[in-house]
């Protein structure tokens, strides 16, 4: 199974979400070997729930570590589940860097998401300074070990490796770099007790013209796509790269 996930970040309003998803579904040629997932902004989750039809899936870009309470501005994982969502992004580099989310909080979120029967997609990745100082593997091991501290081995899990320096910059990690990182992530996941089939997605300036080459890299189980997922044609082309 290959996974193609669209992270729209803070783009599209509810009507644009409905229009995009309707157009995409009309043009998408279903492949049984694919899981296609959309992560719209939180204000568009209900719109997505009204339009997305199986086999396509949708989820939230972020949730809080508790189901409800006095947490102004947060999103409830239970509400995502009630609306029919399946996936939750956890620990995207923008959540870590801009909103200063720490591994302990991310671990709490992941645990709650699994308890609710949703699938967490844990995002990991190094900054440019960490790569240049030779700390990439150390960073990945720390983020995985801390983020999966209390995860349930019997429940679904996905991981997305996104080198921070390649997100939205137009820079793409070299094939050798992607191969090395994904190989190391697999080893770490095995040590932590994860299933060998736990998918490891790659993210970082994925586009139609580089998708096929990247998808051929061992242990690349698909993509978490940002900017190139905002247009129907480009995301369809990426999904067709398999």
Judge whether 74 counts as a catalytic residue: no
- What is the CA angle 169-166-174, rounded to 5? 125
* Alpha-carbon dihedral angle through residues 150, 201, 228, 210, given to the nearest 10 degrees: 160
| C-alpha span between 5 and 22 (Å, rounded) | 17
Instruction: Return the pLDDT at 92.
Output: 97
131-151 burial, b at 16+ Cβ within 10 Å, e below that, comes to: beeeebbebbbebbeebbeeb
Phi, psi of 201 (to 5 degrees): -85, 155
Instruction: Return the pLDDT at 39.
Output: 98
* Average pLDDT of the residues in 40-62: 97
Instruction: Return the pLDDT at 25.
Output: 97
Question: Which region holds residue 237: left if phi is over 0, alpha if psi is between -120 and 50, else beta?
Answer: alpha
Assess contact for 162 and 124: CB atoms under 8 A.
yes
Q: Quick check: 169 pLDDT over 90?
A: no
Structure confidence at residue 195 as a pLDDT band (50, 70, 90)? confident
Q: How far is CA 47 from CA 15, 20, 32, 193, in A?
A: 8, 11, 25, 37
Question: Which region holds residue 134: left if phi is over 0, alpha if psi is between -120 and 50, else beta?
Answer: left
Assess contact for 228 and 218: CB atoms under 8 A.
no
Residue numbers of the domain that contains 141: 2-239
Judge whether 162 counts as a catalytic residue: yes
Phi, psi of 87 (to 5 degrees): -120, 155
Instruction: Return the pLDDT at 60.
Output: 98
DSSP 3-61: EEEEE-TT---HHHHHHHHHHHHHH----TTEEEEEE--GGGHHHHHHH--TT-EEEES
Instruction: Return the pLDDT at 1.
Output: 94
Which of 126, 162, 182, 219 is catalytic? The answer is 162
Gap between the terminal Cα atoms of the chain: 10
pTM: 0.96
Q: How many domains does the chain have?
A: 1
Which of 92, 94, 126, 219 is catalytic? The answer is 92
Q: Quick check: 121 pLDDT over 80?
A: yes
Instruction: Return the pLDDT at 173.
Output: 83
| C-alpha span between 154 and 39 (Å, rounded) | 24
CATH no. for residue 99? 3.20.20.70
């Amino acid at each position: 199974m290959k996974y193609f996930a669209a992270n729209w970040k803070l783009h599209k309003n509810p009507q644009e979400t409905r229009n995009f998803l309707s157009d995409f579904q009309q043009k998408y040629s279903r492949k049984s070997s694919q899981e296609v997932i959309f992560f719209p902004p939180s204000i568009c989750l209900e719109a997505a729930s009204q339009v997305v039809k199986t086999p396509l899936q949708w989820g939230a870009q972020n949730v809080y570590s508790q189901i409800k309470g006095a947490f102004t501005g947060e999103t409830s994982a239970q509400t995502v589940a009630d609306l029919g969502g399946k996936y939750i992004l956890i620990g995207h580099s923008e959540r870590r860097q801009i909103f200063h989310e720490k591994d302990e909080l991310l671990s709490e979120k992941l645990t709650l998401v699994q308890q609710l029967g949703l699938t967490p997609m844990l995002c990991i990745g190094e900054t440019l300074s960490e790569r240049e100082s030779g700390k990439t593997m150390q960073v990945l091991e720390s983020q995985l070990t801390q983020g999966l501290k209390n995860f349930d081995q019997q429940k679904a899990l996905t991981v997305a490796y996104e080198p921070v320096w390649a997100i939205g910059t137009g820079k793409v990690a070299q094939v050798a770099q992607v191969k090395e990182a994904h190989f190391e992530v697999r080893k770490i996941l095995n040590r932590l007790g994860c299933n060998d089939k736990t998918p490891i997605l790659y993210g970082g300036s994925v586009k139609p013209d580089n998708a096929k080459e990247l998808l051929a890299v061992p242990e690349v189980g698909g993509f978490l796509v940002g900017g190139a997922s905002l247009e129907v044609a480009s995301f369809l082309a990426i999904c067709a790269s398999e």
